[in-house]
Amino acid sequence: MKKQTAGRDQLGAFAPKFAELNDDILFGEIWSREEQLSPRDRSLITCSSLLTQGMPQLEAHMKMAKQNGVTKDEMVELITHLAFYTGWPKAWSTFSLAKEIFGE
């Protein structure tokens, strides 16, 4: 996985410890534990969590999911499944985002 620098790039001067934890621990140590969960599976889990919370970070993680091998059909199924647990409006909005990212 590519070295993450978003924390330092966006928050390094303002919140240096948070930026360090984001880049080195979360995206460094946790995401690199591929023997426990593949990046693809971590992406599916992360997108599910962010969708249910309605978090803006979903866009970046959906792009990462695509890079990690999650297909359009899998993302559509994830959103459809979660619509009944998280709410129809969240799912509806997420489909617009998925269409942009997965190119349809």
Mark residue 67 as left, alpha or beta (left: phi above 0; alpha: psi -120 to 50; beta: remaining). alpha
Compute, in degrees rounded to 10, the torsion defined by CA atoms 95, 96, 101, 104: 90
- Do 3 and 52 lie in one domain? The reply is no
pLDDT of residue 38: 96
CA 31 to chain centre: 11
- Do 45 and 65 lie in one domain? The reply is yes
pTM of the model: 0.89
Domain of 18, in residue numbers: 1-32
pLDDT (tens, 9 = 90+) of the chain, 104 residues, equals 677 888 999 999 999 999 999 999 999 999 999 999 999 999 999 999 999 999 999 999 999 999 999 999 999 999 999 999 999 999 999 999 999 999 86
CATH number of the domain at 63, please: 1.20.1290.10
For the chain, how many structural domains are there in total? 2
- Do 27 and 51 lie in one domain? The reply is no
pLDDT of residue 4: 81
